[in-house]
Structures are given as C-alpha cells and as structure tokens.
Amino acid sequence: MAAVLAVTEAVGWYQELADRAQMAAEQLQTEEATKNALVMPLLQLLGYDVFNPLEVVPEFVADVGIKKGEKVDYAIMADGKAIMLFECKSVGADLDKLTPSQLYRYFSVTDARFGVFTNGIDYQFFSDLEAPNKMDGKPFFEWSLISVTDQVAMELKKFSKENFSEEDILQTASDLKYTKGIARSIADEFTSPSEEFVKLFCQRVYDGRISQAVKEQFTEITKRAFHEFVRDRIRMRLESAIQGDAPARIAESHIEEEPTSDAGPSVVTTEEEIEAFYIVKSIVRDVLPPARVTIRDTQSYCGVLADDNNRKPICRLYFDSRRKYIGLFDAEKKVKREAIESLECIYQHAQSLCETASRYANES
C-alpha cells in the first residue's frame, strides 16, 4: 500500500494544477493568464524560484540573426546560462497545429539544449538530437496535466532544479523520442493494420497466393489477433502484480444480468473493465486478499465487490458513456462518480479504494 500511495503522491502535485486548469479554463483566455496560473506554478513544483531572475527569466531576450530583441517566454538559468527555454500559448491552443517558432530561433543562439512548448496543460519537450544547435522537428517527450502517470512524474523529476543534468537527460532523450515514435506506429497498426503489416504475418502463416480477397481476410484476422495478444499480455501483467497469490481468473467471478426482455441487450464485460478490475484488485491487495475481490457486471455499470457480495461494494466502473467514471463509496455506502481520463487515473483514488476495502477486511 505504501508503494501505491507513493505513486499517488507523485502525481498528486500535478493533478492539483490540472484541477485548477479545468476549473479556470474559461478565465484563462490569454497567454499571460495561462503563464501565471499554470506554467509558473509548474516551474515552482520543479524547484525553480520564479521570482529570482538568476533562475527564471521571463521575456528572455537574445539577438537572432538580423532580428534584434527576439523574446522567448521563459528561460531557466544555471550559472548565468540558459539551460531550458519555454514558449507558451494560451489554454486550448492545439500545439500539434502550431509551430514553436521562438524555440527554433533560440536554439542556435543560446546554450540551452531543451525547449518546452506548452499551452499550460499539454507539454512538448524538444532537444537537438539530430543536428547540433538545431531543434528537432519532433519532441522527445510529451505529456499532459490531464493525465499524469507515475512514469511521467519520474521523467519530469529529471528536469527539476535538484536533479537537472543535461548529460543524463540527453542520454535518455533519444530513447524516449524513438520509443514514442514506434509506439505511435504500433498504435496505428493496432487500430488499422497497414498492408505491409498484414502481408508480413500473412506470409508466415499462409502458403497460398496472396490475392486481394486474402489480403482483406487477413486484415481482419491480423487486427483481431493483435487485440487478443495485447489483451492477454495486459491480463498476465496484472495477474503477476498480485504477488504471492494464485493467478486471478475472471471465471472466478460472474456476470450478473439485470432483468431484461428477451429482445434486450446482453451484458458484455469489456477489456477495459477487466483491466480496471485487476488494477483495483492490485491496489487493495494489502488490505483485502485478492481472492476476495470479484467483478460483477450489469447493464448499468461494472461492479467490483468484496466476497462477490452486492452489499460489499468496493467501487463501480461506468465505462459505457463517452467519458469514463469510477464510482467511489463513502462510509454510508453512498456512491460518488469521479471522472477519469484513463485507467491509470484509478491510481489517484487508491486511498479511497483502500479505505473502502478495509471496511470489509474483518467480515466473513
């Protein structure tokens, strides 16, 4: 439980900023408002004194070629030299459709090896991995306040004042950049397998001539096989996280169908619900034995229960709408829905889940 709470604490700092951004989004209409409300607090979280011009210089000025007095929004300083530059846009700006022109110009005239392009919520980190003093066209690290994971928090820690090491960051920046690129390609193949990808596997298992009809058939087969492989790997990884316990199997629980007519829809437990169930199970394992944590699905929600008992709810998963919610229970067993952007956000509610599960620990 200590490890889970440590993860929660690590992302909690950034979640506070995310909550602020969501509540004040309508007021943050300008770049200046975004910088004051979100970017400066982030710099403070990273340990920089935003009121000390020896550490943080707003409207940093440098001459770029024939252009004089060019400015970048912030420069993080160390020993009198710029080590990191920030170009800021207002909340809501689509960074993928904009060009960080200030950063591009400054990379050739400052000592900084890192540039950050942000709208206060989304952050893109750039360097000059491909050519010295020329900023790369693609970021090596991207993250969003809306969904800060423990991995993102650990990467951000490298940019803090206490831990900043240009050499150490550059050693991992290349891996981060190309790992992200490959991950995107895999995601594209996962969603819509390319002809080359389908052909690769078709040639390995099919001996006949690969006609257009065969390609179409194997496109669906490849997509289905890819999904099954990923689902099985996720399940195996979550099961292995439950150390020292027998592998949990979804068959141990059962699906509860609410009364419906013969023509009514059947209850289907999705892969996301199964993955979320195992996440909850691993979170509460220190206060409630995994064997006592079960899943019961209905048409309205997917319930995670203690002892497969509806009177012992741990949480509810509302994943059928466009936005996902987790239902958390208080001491009176009243449920409150909390929006989650991704399954990893469930970890942010670890303390509440453990408190609920602990209430059933001594019950048979």
pLDDT digits (tens, 9 = 90+) for 43-83: 998 999 999 999 999 998 876 555 566 788 999 999 989 99
Q: Residue 232 — pLDDT band, cuts 50, 70, 90?
A: confident
174 within domain boundaries: yes
- Highest mean predicted confidence (pLDDT) among 29-38, 119-128, 187-196, 315-324: 119-128
Same domain, 67 and 168: yes
**What pLDDT score does 64 carry?**
57
Q: Residue 2 — pLDDT band, cuts 50, 70, 90?
A: very low
Same domain, 116 and 20: yes
Burial of residue 184 (CB within 10 Å: 0-12, 13-18, 19+) is: exposed
Q: What whole-number distance in Å separates Cα of residue 154 and Cα of residue 256? A: 40
Which is more confident, 36 or 24? 36
| pLDDT surpasses 80 at 21 | no
What's the distance, Cα to Cα, between the start and end of the chain in Å?
22
| pLDDT surpasses 70 at 321 | no
Same domain, 200 and 274: no
Q: What whole-number distance in Å separates Cα of residue 39 and Cα of residue 31? A: 10
What percentage of the chain has pLDDT greater than the value 90? 22
Tokens of 126: 């750039």
363 within domain boundaries: no
Q: Residue 11 — pLDDT band, cuts 50, 70, 90?
A: low
Average pLDDT (255-274) is 58
**What pLDDT score does 181 carry?**
76
**What pLDDT score does 238 carry?**
61
| Least confident stretch, 21-30, 209-218, 239-248 | 239-248
Burial of residue 77 (CB within 10 Å: 0-12, 13-18, 19+) is: buried
List, as one string, the DSSP characters of 83-141: EEEEEE--TT--GGGS--HHHHHHHTTSS--EEEEESSSEEEEE--SSBTTB--SS-SE
96 within domain boundaries: yes
Burial of residue 294 (CB within 10 Å: 0-12, 13-18, 19+) is: buried
364 within domain boundaries: no
Average pLDDT (241-262) is 42
**Within the chain, what is the greatest distance between any pair of CA atoms?**
78
Angle of helix 150-157 relative to helix 2-23, nearest 10 degrees, comes to 80
| CATH (domain of 176) | 3.90.1570.30
| pLDDT surpasses 50 at 199 | yes
140 within domain boundaries: yes
* Domain final residue, candidates 145, 161, 183: 183
* Average pLDDT for the chain: 80
Same domain, 58 and 178: yes
Same domain, 152 and 25: yes
Backbone angles phi, psi at 186, to 5 degrees: -65, -40
Average pLDDT (309-330) is 89
Same domain, 136 and 214: no
- Note down the domain range covering 201: 192-241
Same domain, 110 and 165: yes
In the chain, the number of structural domains is 3
Which is more confident, 302 or 269? 302
> Among 319, 356, 360, which residue's Cα sits nearest to residue 341?
319
What percentage of the chain has pLDDT greater than the value 70? 82
**What pLDDT score does 303 carry?**
93
Which is more confident, 130 or 18? 130
**What pLDDT score does 235 carry?**
67
Q: Residue 260 — pLDDT band, cuts 50, 70, 90?
A: very low
Which is more confident, 239 or 198? 198
Q: What whole-number distance in Å separates Cα of residue 276 and Cα of residue 297? A: 13
| Residue bearing tokens 């920046």 | 173
Tell me: the pLDDT tens digits for 329-340? 998 888 999 999
Same domain, 207 and 84: no
Same domain, 278 and 353: yes
